[in-house]
Amino acid sequence: MRVISGEAKGRPLKAVPGQTTRPTTDKVKEALFSMIGPYFDGETVLDLFAGTGGLGIEALSRGAGKAVFVDTNPRSVEIVRTNLDAAKLADRAEVYKNDAGKAIRLLERKGIRFDLIFLDPPYAMKTCRELLDELEARGLTANEAVAVVEHESGFDYGERIGLFARRRLATYGETAISIYHKTEGGGEAE
């Protein structure tokens, strides 16, 4: 695993030891960022099931202004911090050891609004719909926010999640990426 593009291009990223995380492969990451970017201009990013931090770090490397990383696994949190240091991006990041629901409540109190949201939970968890709804209900999504949901290819979150309309679905073997775009008033996605 490595940072693919931007200011930290080529920097290696450490994986979390064991079988508890499933890092997004470089191939899928490259395809994903070509669909949502490929580059950014100061956006605020949430990497809610951070694992290694690879998605949020890639967004920072490509020009995002700030990223918040959340994971419940203490080893993952340690690896995210190590990877941020290695990529020289730690000064633009916050890292929390917390579960997704508690993290959302904490972030609401901080008044942060996210432009780009990565939801990549363990495939057995099918809670991205509820989490995205809660992020929206608590005012944590920017007006034109993009949510990237990585999920098992045999599972479908559908065309809409609240104000978010799916604009792209891509499948890579057992992995699927659904990209949702927030649409004001629930209208059609661009």
Question: What local confidence, expressed as pLDDT, does residue 104 receive?
Answer: 96
Is 160 contained in some domain? yes
Is 168 contained in some domain? yes
Is 10 contained in some domain? no
Is 18 contained in some domain? no
Is 20 contained in some domain? no
Domain membership of residue 71 as a residue range: 26-186
Is 38 contained in some domain? yes
CATH of the domain at 113: 3.40.50.150
Pair of tokens at residue 45:
């990013």
Chain segment 60-108, per-residue pLDDT in tens: 999 999 999 999 999 999 999 999 999 999 999 999 999 999 999 999 9
Chain segment 105-158, per-residue pLDDT in tens: 999 999 999 999 999 998 888 999 999 999 999 999 999 999 999 999 999 999
Question: What local confidence, expressed as pLDDT, does residue 22 receive?
Answer: 65
Is 11 contained in some domain? no
Domain count of the fold of the chain: 1
